[in-house]
Structure 1
Amino acid sequence: MRIAIVAVEGSLLSAIAGLSDLFWITNQALRTPPEGMAKELSIPPGLAFETRIVSANGEPICDPQGRLIPVDDSFTMTDVYDAVLVTGMALDANGLPPMSESVRQAANWIQHNYQQGSWVGAACAGTFVLGEASLLDGRRCTTTWWLHHAFKRRFPKAHVAWGAAIEEQDRIVTTGGPLSWIDLALHMIRRLAGPDVAKLAADISVADSQSLPQMLYAPRGFVNTTDPLLLQAEQIIRHDEPGMTAERLAKALNLSERTLHRRLRNLVNESPKAFITRVRIETACMLLDTPGASIKQVATQCGYNDDTAFRRAFAQLVGMSPVDYKRWSNNRNSRPF
């Protein structure tokens, strides 16, 4: 399996080296699996990953701290890769991923490889390179939570999912967060070599193969701060009695249901029902962060009379049960530094 790791101006050395190392570590484990593991896993014979770091001209590139990133190949090479991956990069003076000539050349090269059948993946700000390549137009994707609004403005045709840890559509994988190259690598291994090899890679690296949604780390209501309508709707939902519906929300906002649906779809790519659920669950997370809060009380405060419906909605959005979230939150907040 041949993996290309793209290096552009501002690429993070740690992410590029980390990606390469994780595939190398996986190779070592494939050759000599830890005792007791080989019998449990179905591993294709002779499987190995080869990584190549690729830049526009094949020359080393400086990372944001002035260290050189070694490079193996250039974009002029005609090699065929099973996957092409882009990592995070330094932001410009405006706090945004730069759109340099290096990035444009990378976007064109990645688009060409995708058309040749390669899988394509990007982590953190590297998702902007895929956006520049027009590969995310009309496709569901994600990016780092604090770049969400900037991403939507720059690539309005992309269907960016708020707070998602990882998204895949049509052989294109995107992840969020500067360290999410780990999630990207494990997901790509799973797609290229199967779940058993991905489990081996995760276990040998002591990495979590189940990524938590980014919304856990973002300020509650962050995605709604871009538009007064979203902020107003959020407040109505948080202070309303149980049983909020799209019809009631539209009426409270002096809008028709059809207009509300269109506005929410354009602003956050959500239906009114999904918007209502997200606001309720984000509120639940805030309440569960409070010591002593009971899950039943939180469910009621967030408009759920049915505990089962609350737990189902919570798990679907947060990726864990309310009990597990409360335990995770308590451990995170009480961790000594």
Structure 2
Amino acid sequence: MRFGVVAVDGCWDSGLTSVLDVLRTAHAARERVDAGLPGLECVLLTPGGTPITTAGGLLVAAARPLEDAAAAGIDLLLVPALGAQSPATMVDALMRPQIRAVRSALRRWTADGGPAAAACTSTFLLAETGLLDGRSATTTWWLRDLFVQRYPKVTLDMDRMVVRDGAVVTAGAAFAHIDLALSLVARISPRLASETARALLIDQRPTPSVAAFTDHLHGQDRLVSDFEAWARTHLHLQVGVADAALALKVTRRTLERHVKEGLGTTPYAFLRALRAERATHLRATTSLPAEDIAHRVGYRDAGSVRRLRTGR
């Protein structure tokens, strides 16, 4: 999966770098979870492809113009925080020509159905496009009043660190960038998100968000993580959701509810996605015939694997 990380002049240094660090650590941790997991690639994007300077003076030379995100094969656009320090500087930042260019690019991207994510002050960029109208979102606590005033059509949820509504994900204050990045990893694999958090010692951060996110990973999502682990271990067998529920000692309804809440999908769809992922990996890394690949992902024949690819 290719994440397009958007950098602009004056962006928050830790927001930009923490997102990159979490996603790159997750990419490296894949081998410890499942070698068949898709890679996580970060592509730095800037308006016009020009170098930018962060709020702390770091120089970033991007390889790709933001305007070429679709051509670059980007799967999700992620916008780290702007370096605004007050409501007044936040409003001023939104009027900058470079930020206007980002807003225009976001409008085009989301108009074509592209998913987007933002944290802290950059949630204002998503709101400015109208993308958050009629959706639930969150923002940084110290700009709550300004956000409500400017975007009355957005349902603001300040009780959660990360809010996902459809194809849009928003996160709270500056260090919520870590939680945002982990939530994106968790959509690919809850186990990979847990492994990434452990690798970075994220659960040892002395902040309220850590307790919330650690509870999220190891509490309500524990069943989702266990389901993923069981599924990856049993992909070669012709098993289904009922078998998983029995093995995990929960009812099918409980499993379905947890997977829906944690991953936004059904256990059947997730199991199917894991099989497609494993089949793709085997095709790319082995010379196994289609029939053998089918058997290794729990299907009787190659036709079933082909239907996985076409979604039928």
**Do both proteins adopt the same fold according to a TM-score greater than 0.5, normalized to the shorter chain?**
yes
The superposition leaves residues 30-72 of structure 1 with CA deviations (integer Å, 9 ceiling, x where unpaired) of 13x2xxxx4xxxx360521111111111111111233212312
The superposition leaves residues 169-219 of structure 1 with CA deviations (integer Å, 9 ceiling, x where unpaired) of 01111111111110110111112x1212222222212224999469x9xxx
Q: Which amino acid aligns with 1:29?
A: A
Conservation of the 8 A alpha-carbon contact between 1:186 and 1:209: no
Residue aligned with 1:16, SS: helix
Percent identity, please: 27
Conservation of the 8 A alpha-carbon contact between 2:2 and 2:40: yes
For 1:113-262, list aligned pairs within 5 A. Answer: 113-191=109-187, 193-208=188-203, 212=208
Q: Structure 1 residues 162, 22: CA separation in 2 closer, same or farther (over 3 Å shift)?
A: closer
Residue aligned with 1:186, SS: helix
The superposition leaves residues 120-153 of structure 1 with CA deviations (integer Å, 9 ceiling, x where unpaired) of 1111001011011211111100001111001111
Conservation of the 8 A alpha-carbon contact between 2:13 and 2:56: no
1:102 aligns with 2:98: yes
Q: Structure 1 residues 44, 113: CA separation in 2 closer, same or farther (over 3 Å shift)?
A: farther
Conservation of the 8 A alpha-carbon contact between 1:3 and 1:83: yes
Residue aligned with 1:24, SS: helix
Instruction: Provide the C-alpha distance between the structure 2 equivalents of 1:130 and 1:187, rounded to a whole number of angstroms.
Output: 18
Q: Which residue of 1 aligns with 2:59?
A: 68
Deviation at 1:95, TM superposition (A): 4.1
Let me know the Cα RMSD of the aligned residues: 2.5
Normalising to structure 1: TM-score of the pair? 0.56
Q: Which residue of 1 aligns with 2:20?
A: 20
Deviation at 1:161, TM superposition (A): 1.5
Q: Which amino acid aligns with 1:204?
A: A
1:59 aligns with 2:54: no
Q: Structure 1 residues 168, 209: CA separation in 2 closer, same or farther (over 3 Å shift)?
A: farther
Q: Which amino acid aligns with 1:96?
A: M
Normalising to structure 2: TM-score of the pair? 0.60
Q: Which residue of 2 aligns with 1:280?
A: none
Instruction: Provide the C-alpha distance between the structure 1 equivalents of 2:191 and 2:131, rounded to a whole number of angstroms.
Output: 29
1:82 aligns with 2:75: yes
Instruction: Provide the C-alpha distance between the structure 2 equivalents of 1:155 and 1:72, rounded to a whole number of angstroms.
Output: 33
Runs of 4+ in 1 over 4 A off after TM superposition: 209-214
Greater Rg by CA: 1
Segment drifting more, 152-161 vs 113-122: 113-122
Instruction: Provide the C-alpha distance between the structure 2 equivalents of 1:89 and 1:186, rounded to a whole number of angstroms.
Output: 20
Which structure would you say has the larger RCO, counting Cα contacts within 8 Å and 6 or more residues apart? 2
Gaps of 5+ in 1: 217-337
Q: Structure 1 residues 73, 187: CA separation in 2 closer, same or farther (over 3 Å shift)?
A: same
Instruction: Provide the C-alpha distance between the structure 2 equivalents of 1:146 and 1:95, rounded to a whole number of angstroms.
Output: 13
Higher helix share: 2
Count residues in correspondence.
205
Q: Structure 1 residues 58, 45: CA separation in 2 closer, same or farther (over 3 Å shift)?
A: same
Q: Structure 1 residues 208, 137: CA separation in 2 closer, same or farther (over 3 Å shift)?
A: farther
Residue aligned with 1:88, SS: coil
Deviation at 1:9, TM superposition (A): 2.6
Conservation of the 8 A alpha-carbon contact between 1:189 and 1:197: yes
Conservation of the 8 A alpha-carbon contact between 1:183 and 1:209: no
Q: Which amino acid aligns with 1:202?
A: A
Residue aligned with 1:57, SS: helix
Instruction: Provide the C-alpha distance between the structure 2 equivalents of 1:16 and 1:143, rounded to a whole number of angstroms.
Output: 17
Deviation at 1:75, TM superposition (A): 2.2
Residue aligned with 1:84, SS: strand
Gaps of 5+ in 2: 213-312
Q: Structure 1 residues 206, 118: CA separation in 2 closer, same or farther (over 3 Å shift)?
A: farther
Segment drifting more, 87-96 vs 12-21: 87-96
Conservation of the 8 A alpha-carbon contact between 1:164 and 1:213: no
Q: Structure 1 residues 23, 92: CA separation in 2 closer, same or farther (over 3 Å shift)?
A: closer
Q: Which residue of 2 aligns with 1:256?
A: none
